[in-house]
Each structure stands twice: as C-alpha cells, then as structure tokens.
Structure 1
Amino acid sequence: MNLFLQNIAKHVSLTPSEQEQVMALVTVQTYKAKTVLLKAGDVCSVSYFVHSGILRSYSIDQNGVEHVVSFACANWFIADMYSFISGRPGNLYIEVVEDAEVTEITRENQEKMYDQVPKMERFFRILIGNSLVANQQRLLDNLSFTAEARYDKFLQKFGNLAHRVPQKHIASYLGVTPEFFSAMKARMLKRS
C-alpha cells in the first residue's frame, strides 16, 4: 500500500473500491529541489502529500525577508490553506527544498472525493483539526518560549530535517536571524 493510503488508513478505513476511487482523483508527481510550486498572489488549487523529499511554505515581507511557515517531509501535507479553502489569492510560496515525490490533490477533486467517498470528508476534517491545534501550539510557543526552547521543539518534531535543510530556513522558521541562530547553536553545543 502506498504511503498516501497508509496515511489515510490511520484515520479512516477504506474498502479496496474506495481506495481505487480516491487514487483515481489524485496524481503522483516528482519535483526537483528549488522548484516553486506556488507563488504568493496565486490561488492555491492543489494540496501536496509528501512521499519523499522536503517542501516548505514561506512568505516574503515588504523588506524582502523570507519567513518560513512550515516544512513538510514524508507523510505530511502542505498547502496555502487560506487560499485552498477560500479560493482567493494566497500569501505563501511553496518550494521544493529537497527532490520530492508528492501526491497532488486538486480542490476540485477533493470535493469529488467527499461525494464519492464520504469517509474522506472525515479524514480531511481530522487533518484540518490537527493542523489547527499544531498551528495554535506553535503560535503559543513563539509567544512564550525562548529561541533555544523553540529549537528544541523543532528538533523533537522535525529532527530528521535538521541536517537536510539550509540552516537559514530553520532560523527563519524559528523567527531568528541566521547569525543569531548560528551563535545560539554554538552556545548550546558548549553547554552539552
């Protein structure tokens, strides 16, 4: 069973027929690193489930500074959810950080899934709920934790990414400059 169907099976049980219906509504694609899948200002009409590789979403502020919103590695989804759900132009870029294989689900086909395989509506509701909880926790962490504590949480959640993505992306995700991040890591190494 492919990773996408395994992920679904964690939350809902599909019959073989339902699995076929779901797979008929998605496409599997491969992308090279540095491929930009979505640009700010475009409507996000596709969500991505990562089989292998790494994707990131980020925004760029008025000063040209990138702010990493999220990473997605194997078994994770990524999209500009505001744009995907509302159908309005989004604020995020989605870029391939490491060569990736993904399952793509268009908004149109996701709606078809809900009609053809109603269990998929429950599946996506669970995912959106989990995402909301994770985003709320990240916001609270950013408001109340030190950069070191946020980095520790990053390592717990994304430990396998620490050596696979540029350090400047991790610094951005943590909300610090690359210089601060480098100095912080050096201090943490001295203490251990």
Structure 2
Amino acid sequence: MYNRIRENISRRVSLSAQELVEIENCARKVALKKKSRLLHSGEVCNYLVFVNTGAVRSFSADNKGVEQIVQFAFEDNWVSDLYSYVSEAPAILSIESMEDSELLLFYKEDMEKLYQTIPALERWMRLLLQNAYVRLQRRLVLSLSMPAEERYAELLQSYPDILNRVPLIYIASYLGITPESLSRIRRQLSAK
C-alpha cells in the first residue's frame, strides 16, 4: 500500500524507515469510485492528494457549467487545489476520479506537525511545490505559444497511455480546444 508513496518521497529526500512510517501514519486512505468527487469548488482544500492507483482530474467550471481541466493525476502523482491549500480560502478547483482510485490524503495540520519532527520533509514540500509551479508555468506558456496539434502531440508523449484512460472530451478540455477540433487533429495525425 505504501511502496509508491515511499518511493515518491525518497526520490527527493532521504528519510529513515521510522520517518517514513510516521508519514504513512498521517496518510488517510480514500477509495473513490469512477466519477466520484473528492473536492467541490467552494470547499476549503486542506489536504494534498497522492494518487496511489487510478486517475483523477482537477478542473474549474464557469457559470454555464463548462469545465476547464487543469491537471490529470495518475499513479505516483500529486494533486490538490494549491491556492486553497496554502491560503485556506475556498477552492477554485474540483477534484474528481476518472477511474476507480486509491488515494492518500495528507492534511495540512498533520503536515505542519511532520515538518517539525522531520525537517527534511519541509525540503521535500518545497521541491514538490517548485516542480508543480514549473509544470504549470510550462503548460501556460505552451498553451499561449504552441498550436493545438503540437500540444496534443506533447501530451501523448508525456502520457503515452492517456488515450486508454481519459475520455477525449477531457483531453480536449485540457488542451483548451473543442472536442470537434480534437477529432480533426486526430484525423490529421492518423492520415500522416
């Protein structure tokens, strides 16, 4: 159950076996069925989510209900509404499972205690947030400067199995294009 989280944390910092057990003891296991919501926008998100198995998405919705997907998170990935987590303001994102998923939640209060007892964990959090910011900034720049065809090709390169796991309507939303545009792009690429 905890092998994946141990490996994830150990890639960034070195911790003792006892420290890893302390972290595991703070993890709250959540099993979500496909299309179940973990977080609704407007709620305060006071936890970080580690995807142990399955797949989730974070997204916002406008007042007409049109969704814009911000992130896909598969096994060994983290997801949260960082704005809400850091500021303790209502979430601007929702988090929903795309597959049956097994998640580990790490509540902010527990994390703050762990930072006191395991100083290296604070470094781990800084690296985690730093990497999240870099990915978000890269995605923003690419969405502003790269044609949809190239963004789609890069998404497939980053997540080779995504077409088997994520509905095309979600992929279109993530790319910021209509499902019809995605169909056109896919036809063009398959004709090459």
TM interval, shorter chain, is over 0.9
Which residue of structure 1 lines up, in the alignment, with residue 140 of structure 2?
A: 139
CA RMSD, 1 decimal: 1.0
> For residues 58-77 of structure 1, what are the structure 2 equivalents within 5 Å?
58-77=59-78
Give the aligned residue type for 1:96: S
In the TM superposition, residue 115 of structure 1 has moved relative to its aligned partner by 0.9
Instruction: Report the 3-state secondary structure (helix = DSSP H, G, I; strand = E; otherwise coil) of the residue aligned with 1:58.
Output: strand
Give the aligned residue type for 2:96: E
In the TM superposition, residue 29 of structure 1 has moved relative to its aligned partner by 2.1
- In the superposition, the TM-score normalised over structure 1's length comes to 0.97
Which residue of structure 1 lines up, in the alignment, with residue 127 of structure 2?
A: 126
Which residue of structure 1 lines up, in the alignment, with residue 118 of structure 2?
A: 117
> For residues 42-57 of structure 1, what are the structure 2 equivalents within 5 Å?
42-57=43-58
CA distance in 1 between counterparts of 2:4 and 2:38 reads 21
In the TM superposition, residue 95 of structure 1 has moved relative to its aligned partner by 0.1
Deviates more, 1:28-37 or 1:72-81: 28-37
CA distance in 2 between counterparts of 1:67 and 1:180 reads 15
In the TM superposition, residue 62 of structure 1 has moved relative to its aligned partner by 2.3
Structure 1's consecutive aligned runs of 4 or more residues displaced over 4 angstroms after TM superposition are none
Give the aligned residue type for 2:70: V
CA distance in 1 between counterparts of 2:160 and 2:103 reads 21
In the TM superposition, residue 101 of structure 1 has moved relative to its aligned partner by 0.8
In the TM superposition, residue 85 of structure 1 has moved relative to its aligned partner by 0.7
Which residue of structure 2 lines up, in the alignment, with residue 106 of structure 1?
A: 107
Which residue of structure 1 lines up, in the alignment, with residue 170 of structure 2?
A: 169
- In the superposition, the TM-score normalised over structure 2's length comes to 0.97
The runs of 5 or more residues in structure 2 that have no matched partner are none
Write the deviation string for residues 95-121 of structure 1: whole angstroms up to 9, x where unpaired: 000111111101111111111111111
In the TM superposition, residue 94 of structure 1 has moved relative to its aligned partner by 0.2
Deviates more, 1:73-82 or 1:45-54: 45-54
In the TM superposition, residue 64 of structure 1 has moved relative to its aligned partner by 1.7
CA distance in 1 between counterparts of 2:111 and 2:153 reads 35
In the TM superposition, residue 187 of structure 1 has moved relative to its aligned partner by 1.1
How high is the sequence identity, in percent, across the aligned residues? 38
